[in-house]
A and B are shown apart, each in its own frame.
Chain A
């Protein structure tokens, strides 16, 4: 795939890129469907119950039924809502979620874009979704939605900072912002992957990532028991489906990013397991991270907004900066 990028852009090539994009979209949508299903199942098992098992064999068609329901619902727009912004917000939230997937390398050969500033591209685009959430909350003309939107904006902005800074250590060690290079450079043994040398950065990254995703324990913007769904309370039908889609595509993106940055991408944990194709390792690590996110959701209670802000600015940020400093010292003393 990468070699195609070096060729001149002909109509044929363009069509090929477009088709690959559609295939990725299909894969991502399939992932979202079954991630929602498995989330319900896994959380159910952790709560001593079964989860959906009626629709289709073993309940596998449950998400399909849910999406079909959402598509068939009435498209309501509150009378006093700002129509243009109301309609724009879900789309604006979704587009960056999908666009950031371009820079994720799946294996040595399988990647969509080879941008030298891939990580920066990721972080920049994911910020646009924050704007969309505030827009959705504001344009709904509903106090609960507004509160939810404001909380969400505050939360996401506060956690972008430690998220990015925690990755700086990785960047320093790999010497590049290019995600392919970062994944490549991680060694063949699992203790050479970035999560151990950069353990502090890894922990900060995981916490900040869960917060970026608006998932429990940081799911204040959609705190069901307080704000009754927060910023998407007025959305129903397919527009609501878009917000859900955004959240789960971001889960995909963050899981993929974590795998690439910290867990060695497509490398096998031991060199003698090299014969297993890299994509399988990628998928296994990716699945583990997704499971870990579900696990946390089933287990932990929610953090309060002021405690959340305190955690982000007063704990995670200094720790991330400390990590950068330690990495710099290490590199200066032992590597140079």
Chain B
């Protein structure tokens, strides 16, 4: 979204600046005062820009580099236009005369606005023109901390590998739990008052090429709190203890994951294929699955 808009802005900026430049008689001398005048109000408006959503670190870095380059260009342009047009606006009749003073003023205003926007975006993403605001704490953070603390205390200190808030998903608290501690942790999550995650909504298996993962989405019917629990396992001998003793509904979900991804669930009462025929070889949903008949 941001890429396209910025390209548009740039494209629309280019032809207009070509129009404005020859219209100005005054040389494009960047007066530092004028140049700084524009970024300052932009900087003040930066904190009000919405905090960027949690993004991938490499994308973040790329965006940062691009933003910096853009910011530099925009600042230079803004300075040129602002510096050139401020005296033009102040002395409309004196500058050229073939340019309509209103038109010049409008172009000036538009250029200032564009510069302000570009600078603000650069500030928000790069965080260099203004001090970066820390993200406000998520409203679900206490829920996450409570669950994590409970598990750390009652199950094992190292049961939780990671605990974070998934902002994309309405700030869903997510716990990454070690496979061997899973069943105990889930039992706690289901039965302890205050936790009460009695309803297992969904069990999904995901094949990240380096490892396999199973995600459990839980909800508490009374407090309507949601929680996601993830468990990682390796690709060669994938195995995650079954949570069927805790939530009966996991039964067929785990069978489906076994069938399509090949993750074994020791402790499952009846682990056999559910979608594919019983004598099928291979696990179709894996990323490296080669179908029997590639033409199909």
State yes or no: do A and B touch (Cβ within 8 Å): no
